[in-house]
Amino acid sequence: MTGRILNALLVTALLLGLWQALVTLADLPPFILPGPVRVAKALWNNAELIGWHALVTLTEVLVGLAFGVALGVVTALQLAASPLARRLVKPALVLTQALPVFALAPILTLWLGYGLWSKVLMAVLIIYFPVTSAFFDGLMNTPRGWLDLAQSMQATRTQTLWRIRVPAALPALASGLRLSAVYAPIGAVIGEWVGASQGLGYLMLLANGRVKIDLMFAALAVLACLTLLLHVAVSRLCDRLTARMV
């Protein structure tokens, strides 16, 4: 773990150094690309403002993540348990992916307004399919020997599902959860770009409109940090879940 942290710090320092070198050598004006020092100053001077908008975005992401994962898990279980559901629902799920989710953001804002729920639903839509698909694939690819053992012990379909197929599918579900931790902030911020009065996405647009590019980059940096921390937290949770149940 210490080695990973050190590697991450070294890579971050290298990227910041390259960024500063590019700005200095190319003599880029701050309204085009501010240097990391200028961005750090903007972050320090506007810490309270950025912190408030970050809290709003984090709330949208966590609520959307909870609803999206729950809905995806329930759908995958229904598809695995019912051949009829697979014939009716699975083609519809695949068909929905032909429509860009980003294109729905203006419609969701029109229907649900500029508040929390349009961003939450956007996050739900963007993570629902990856979670459902990953968990369903795991449920349908249970090792044949495990299923034969359950059959020889005369286990019911319900017992086989919950005691054999679900534990075997947890690694696949964990992969879907890790992806959802990265996708959920994207959905929330896109919703904020379309229409919002708070959140990091809104702050980035506001700063851009006022030519405060250093503030915009500071908000972007905080968003990236939130996404990384969320991904790390979800990854650790998934590791513990699979270690206990598999």
Measured at the CA of 87, the angle between CA 83 and CA 92, to 5 degrees, comes to 135
Residue pair 187/126 in contact (Cβ under 8 Å)? The answer is: yes
**In CATH, what number does 35-245 get?**
1.10.3720.10
pLDDT one-digit tens code per residue, 55-83: 999 999 999 999 999 999 999 999 998 88
pLDDT band at 102 (very low <50, low <70, confident <90, very high): confident
Q: What's the CA angle centered on 132, arms 81 and 54, to 5 degrees?
A: 145
The reported pLDDT for the residue numbered 12 is 87
Round to whole Å and give the CA distance between 140 and 229: 31
pLDDT for 9: 80
Question: What is the average per-residue pLDDT within 222-240?
Answer: 93
Residue 24 to residue 19: CA distance in whole angstroms: 9
Q: For the whole model, what pTM was predicted?
A: 0.91
Q: Which among 94, 87, 162, 184 is positioned nearest to 132, based on CA atoms?
A: 94
Per-residue pLDDT of 167-216, as tens digits, reads: 999 999 999 999 999 999 999 999 999 988 899 999 999 999 999 999 99
Quote the pLDDT of residue 139.
Answer: 94
- Residue-range domain boundaries for the chain: 1-33, 35-245
Which of 87, 55, 19 lies closest to 188, judged by CA? 55
pLDDT of residue 66: 96
**What's the confidence (pLDDT) of residue 37?**
92
> What is the overall mean pLDDT for the chain?
90
> What is the Cα–Cα distance from 8 to 56, expressed in whole angstroms?
27
